[in-house]
Amino acid sequence: VLNALLDYAAIILAFMGAIHWGLAMRAEESEENARTQMGLSVIPPLLGWLAIADGMPLIVALPVLLLAFAGLYVADVRAVNLGLAPRWYTTLRTPLTGVVSLCLTLAWIGEVID
């Protein structure tokens, strides 16, 4: 179950990162936000991939994923505040980030205790 959680978290990070790619594609060519959004689109899937790559201990992989989701949430709120993403997006992201963070935290605590 723990491996499935890690795999799913990595896939969701890639999916959520792609949203920032889409936001960058909507921006004007000269807009600095486009470059920032492009950068933000590749960081989450890279962190997800690193977390599930062979050799990373679970006790390290879980907080990497947790921090990636937290950072992505901050990037999503930033995108909404800049008017790049719709206002309703944080209404969707806040509970989803809370649930995934809780799951990853509980799994991490389980690994630390074990």
* 81-113 per-position pLDDT tens digit: 988 899 999 999 999 999 999 999 999 999 999
What is the per-residue pLDDT for 31? 73
**Model confidence at 64: pLDDT above 90:** yes
Question: What percentage of the chain carries pLDDT values higher than 70?
Answer: 98
Cα distance from N-terminal residue to C-terminal residue, the chain = 15
Of 108, 100, 10, give the one whose Cα is nearest residue 60: 108
Of 65, 85, 89, give the one whose Cα is nearest residue 8: 65
**Model confidence at 32: pLDDT above 70:** yes
What is the per-residue pLDDT for 29? 62
What is the per-residue pLDDT for 25? 87
What does pTM read for this prediction? 0.90
Q: Where are the domains of the chain?
A: 2-113
Placement of tokens 């690193």 in the chain: 50
